[in-house]
Chains A and B, each alone.
Chain A
Amino acid sequence: MNSGRTVAVRLLVFAASLFVASIAIFLVVNALPGDVATAILGFGADPASIADLRARLGLDRPLLVRYFAWAGNMLTGNLGRSYLTSESVTALVAPRIGVTAWLVVISMLIAPLVALPLGMLAAMKRRSWQGATASTVSQIGLSIPAFYAGILLVIVFAVTLRWLPANGYTELVDATGRWRPVSFVQHLVLPVLSLVIVQSSVLTRYVRSAFIEVLSEDYFRTARAVGWTRWRALWRHGVRNAAISVVTVIGLQLATLLVGAIVVEQVFRIPGLGTALLSAVANRDLIVVQGIVMVLVFAVLVINLLTDLSYLLIDPRLRGRDAR
């Protein structure tokens, strides 16, 4: 089956991309001028202690050795030890992955739910004011930085209306084992909304143009000719055909979404990967920085792989190469 071959190729490309990305990350962090040990100890420190620290952190080994040590360890799930606290980077990162994941996944699920009807409206009514309004709204939405949207939302909902907290995070199940769904949701509403505002605006534009294309297709006309009203014909036959371009965009947008999440975490002081990354940067704890960036890039590449593979499911034309 030819789809088997396609899958194998994609997996190979994924692995290669991961490899190249890891090299790039390692080189940027370690091959550029600027000594970590000096940065940690301060410029006034004596050369002996600096050399000592370098030896302890394994920074005196050749670059190639250090890379393979790092990469090799990663394959077993070991991301190294923090330069500052010596605690395992993996232990530091693991609980935070969940937090960031909640933020990203919920936003990724809600954004298409908003974009689909909005995009449909923008396409169907593109010659009248409803469509123009929908288009304008999405145009504005994607010009706003996510963190600005967050701040505005805080001003409206936390400062003025006092309906929601201005920052912070509650685990769904807290340390004592109690379920805290209300607090969990309360703290996530505004951060998620900030991301959704931007994401759904981007998606709406693609949904709109995908549906406009469907509107001009012959099979849409056939659907109307057999008795579907405009809206229902667009829904039944348009969604699947538009899904292909929408899935593409979601995949492309994931990297942007992750990065948006990093900043939004700062705005709302959410203890996720983003805040950990930024404090590691501030502390020049480079091994932690390497680890977290690697995790983020890994996540992006995996999602890209999954979206690529999902095309095979959505578009039957791609499946059987023999039926041309």
Chain B
Amino acid sequence: MRRSGLWVGIVLVALVILAALVSLVWTPYDPLQVQPTQILQSAGWRHLLGTDGFGIDILSRLLVGARTTVFVGVVAVSLAALGGVPLGVLAGMRGGWVSEIVLRVSDILYAFPALLLAILLAAAVGASTLTAMVAIGIASIPAFARVARAATLIVMTQDYILAARASGTSRWTISVRHVLPNIAAVLGVQASVSFGIAILAEAALSYLGLATPPPTPTWGRMLHDAQSYIFTSPIQALWPGLAIALSVLGLNLLGDGLRDHLDPRLRETA
């Protein structure tokens, strides 16, 4: 039963990535062309998911929206990993006051959820995809730092580390050759989780108008637009939200599945 979760997750994530990639070369209809004669069509053979208030095919907009979702997620998580992992590994290897500082700073950063940081950034320099990505990335650094630190601490107790240090290997080499490969799996799980959080944050920001500006379709923005028609055509709001939920669900299941897969092995090493 557990295994099925992992596979469902993989399928969902693959679907989203596929949608994003496909949208680069083809969409059923033009996602940007306003069609005044086709407004608010319900689902049917011509438009699988119907059309929105501008007459644009919803499915096409969803596919293009997947692009932003994946893009923002990948950049934000990469930023977070690039910032958080070195800090975490450093804290784990050095211990002492270095570790304390990293922990304290990450605690303070925790008080700034991605959204708040993004709002601040948007207020300061104006909202854009960049501010969203940077804000979400920075806000996710503490999570990576903590996980990297905890995993590094476990690795440091292993005999092969002691052997490496006894033979005079430099700290730098140890961290790259021995620590990183061994914490990669745990970081992978965290990446999955952070990706899901990033998607939720980006969706909220798009909804609030604080991320990618129109006319580029984003799932959050589509939800915002759909709200205006909530009394006349409520079903419109269903699809972009579903897309968000399924993407996040897929990533969470993936992360859980990976964690379960690793858990028995983690216990053996610890």
Contact = CB atoms under 8 A, between A and B. Distances in A.
Direct contact of A and B (CB under 8 A): yes
Contact of A140 (B116, B122, B249): B249
A244 interface: no
B119 A281 contact: yes
Nearest to A288: B123
B95 interface: no
A263 B204 contact: yes
A213 to B, nearest CB: 14
A143 interface: yes
Interface in B89-142: 104, 107-108, 110-117, 119-126
A258 B113 contact: yes
Secondary structure type dominating chain B contacts: helix
B119 A32 contact: no
A20 interface: yes
B230 A296 contact: no
Interface stretch (B50-58, B74-82, B237-245): B237-245
Contacts of B248: 143-145
A17 B1 contact: no
A148 B115 contact: no
Given A267-B227, A281-B210, 10 more contacts: A140-B245, A159-B230, A166-B231, A255-B113, A258-B116, A278-B208, A284-B123, A286-B123, A293-B116, A297-B111
Contacts of B117: 28
- Contact size range, A: 35 or more
B234 interface: yes
11 contacts: A25-B120, A143-B248, A144-B248, A145-B203, A145-B204, A145-B248, A147-B207, A155-B230, A155-B237, A259-B113, A289-B123
B223 interface: yes
Contacts of B116: 255, 258-259, 293, 296-297
A132 interface: yes
B200 interface: yes
A190 interface: no
B123 A300 contact: no
A139 interface: yes
Nearest to B12: A143
Contact of B244 (A30, A148, A160): A148
B155 to A, nearest CB: 24
A13 B104 contact: yes
Given A17-B108, A151-B223, A255-B111, A145 B244 contact: yes
B229 to A, nearest CB: 11
User: DSSP majority for the A interface?
Assistant: helix
Nearest to A127: B1
Contacts of A25: 120
Nearest to B114: A259
Interface in A136-163: 139-140, 142-145, 147-148, 151-152, 154-155, 159-160
Contacts of B88: none
A29 B108 contact: no
A148 B123 contact: no
A256 interface: yes
Nearest to B201: A259
A152 B116 CA distance: 24
Interface string A61-96: 000000000000000000000000000000000000
B73 interface: no
Contact of A277 (B119, B204, B241): B119
A184 to B, nearest CB: 23
Contacts of A145: 200, 203-204, 207, 241, 244-245, 248
Contact of B196 (A20, A143, A252, A281): A143
A307 interface: no
Most A-side CB within 10 Å, residue of B204, B226, B249:
B204
